[in-house]
């Protein structure tokens, strides 16, 4: 076996250019595949994080009928008991109680349909990052009467700026139309332009008396210590209200998160399949070039199984050199851009429409590096079977006469 290994290793380097091309192609295939998938995973992770930090939170509680028609009377039942329960749940980092209304924001420049969020500013700061994303003004603490915080895109549409007046039109609990003037205290900008365009924040204490729902809430957003505690916390909450986790509130985000690993394996499988044809072609050329040599080995009594093993080993050596190099290069590149990020500001507006920022940090689970290495070796072994079978089927008498 030792002799066979030595022969196979020497055969690999008999044609350094050809072997080098195969190695480089495998390295680049692994690197490009893993890097693209790390970018995709980074974008997905960023979209999920921004959604949770901006508006989803980990868990939301509503009246069971509220999300169907946004009826103002569908407030959370027995909210005081629920709040006490959340206060005693160790895995709950923070929560925020809200009134949620559908309405119209109007200025002299136009009007636009918005979701009006009546919040307790200090609670909301602990659950969402809106207060940290202000590009102008302050967050619901400077103006004493009817302050409002709106998104930059909505402000642009309404031709509004800080200290401008905005009239909010909505219906109270008796379905009477209310039109009240609010003054813009702050303008925020998140990575989700659609959110910025359709949501405004006012104080609960200003909104509740106008709607006639003081002491009632449409929504309680809950933030856990980390995303992995979402399901345990959800299962601990005992209430007649509807309790939903982030992946139930935004199924597309949950689906993307669950299928990401499978997608990576499928994508890498396609790349490795393409590399397989190159490996098969290269090793077939190597076998045909050494047709006479292989014929002589068979003529002097070398076992066909050893010839088969020799070709397999030659191909495996190429993969054993290329796969670690490809993984190491991928790991270094992904770690580098995971720290420093990739600037995609050239397509920033397009990304914002999908809730993604313009700087993407690559990310890939460490277990995938080992799995992709094993996949590469497996694919290489499969690719080696074709040229190895071709070698053992050679007729020694005819092969030794080959030029």
Q: Identify whether the C-beta of residue 216 lies closer than 8 Å to the C-beta of residue 76.
A: yes
CA 87, CA 220: separation in Å to the nearest integer?
13
Q: Which two tokens stand for residue 219?
A: 């929504």
Angle, vertex CA 50, rays to CA 44 and CA 55, nearest 5: 130
Least confident of 3-12, 140-149, 350-359: 350-359
Least confident of 222-231, 267-276, 349-358, 393-402: 349-358
The pLDDT assigned to 356 comes to 63
Segment 126-137 mean pLDDT: 94
Segment 224-232 mean pLDDT: 93
Predicted confidence (pLDDT) at residue 116 exceeds the cutoff of 60: yes
Q: Which band of pLDDT confidence, cut at 50, 70 and 90, is reported for residue 201?
A: very high
CA 151, CA 196: separation in Å to the nearest integer?
4
Radius of gyration of the chain (CA): 32
The pLDDT assigned to 346 comes to 66
Predicted confidence (pLDDT) at residue 257 exceeds the cutoff of 80: no
Segment 205-211 mean pLDDT: 95
Main-chain phi, psi angles of 188, to 5 degrees:
-110, 160
Predicted confidence (pLDDT) at residue 347 exceeds the cutoff of 70: no
Segment 138-165 mean pLDDT: 93
The pLDDT assigned to 350 comes to 63
Share of the chain above pLDDT 70, in %: 95
Segment 298-323 mean pLDDT: 85
Predicted confidence (pLDDT) at residue 182 exceeds the cutoff of 90: yes
Mean pLDDT, all residues of the chain: 88
Q: What is the pTM of this model?
A: 0.79
């Amino acid at each position: 076996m030792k002799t066979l290994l030595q022969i196979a290793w020497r055969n690999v380097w008999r044609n350094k250019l050809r072997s080098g091309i195969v190695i480089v192609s495998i390295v680049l295939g692994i690197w490009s595949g893993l890097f693209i998938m790390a970018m995709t995973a980074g974008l997905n992770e960023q979209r999920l994080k921004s959604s949770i930090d901006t508006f989803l939170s980990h868990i939301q509680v509503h009246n069971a009928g509220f999300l169907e028609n946004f009826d103002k009377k569908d407030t959370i039942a027995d909210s005081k008991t629920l709040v006490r329960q959340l206060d005693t749940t160790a895995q709950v980092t923070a929560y925020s109680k809200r009134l949620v209304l559908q309405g119209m924001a109007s200025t002299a420049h136009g009007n636009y349909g918005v979701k009006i969020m009546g919040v307790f500013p200090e609670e909301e700061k602990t659950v969402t990052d809106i207060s940290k994303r202000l590009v102008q003004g302050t967050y619901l603490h400077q103006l004493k009467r009817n302050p409002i915080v709106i998104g930059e895109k909505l402000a642009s549409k309404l031709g509004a700026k800080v200290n401008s007046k905005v009239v909010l039109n909505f219906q109270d609990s008796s379905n009477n139309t209310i039109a009240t003037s609010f003054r813009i205290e702050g303008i925020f900008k998140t990575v989700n332009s659609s959110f910025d365009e359709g949501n405004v924040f006012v104080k609960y204490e200003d909104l509740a008396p106008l709607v006639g729902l003081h002491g009632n809430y449409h929504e309680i957003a809950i933030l856990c210590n980390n995303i992995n505690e979402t399901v345990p916390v959800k299962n601990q909450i005992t209430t007649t209200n509807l309790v939903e986790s982030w992946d139930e509130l935004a199924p597309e985000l949950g689906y993307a998160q669950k299928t990401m690993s499978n997608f990576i394996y499928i994508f890498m499988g396609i790349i490795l399949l393409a590399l397989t044809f190159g490996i098969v072609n290269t090793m077939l050329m190597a076998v045909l070039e050494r047709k006479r040599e292989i014929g002589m080995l068979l003529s002097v009594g070398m076992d066909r199984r050893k010839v088969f093993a020799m070709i397999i080993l030659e191909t495996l050596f190429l993969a054993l050199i290329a796969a670690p190099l490809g993984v190491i290069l991928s790991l270094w590149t992904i770690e580098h851009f995971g720290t420093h990020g990739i600037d995609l500001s050239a397509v920033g507006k397009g990304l914002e429409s999908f809730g993604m920022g313009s700087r993407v940090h690559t990310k890939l689970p460490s277990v995938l590096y080992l799995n992709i290495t094993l996949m590469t070796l497996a694919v290489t072994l499969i690719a080696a079977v074709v040229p190895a079978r071709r070698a053992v089927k050679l007729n020694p008498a005819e092969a030794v006469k080959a030029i």
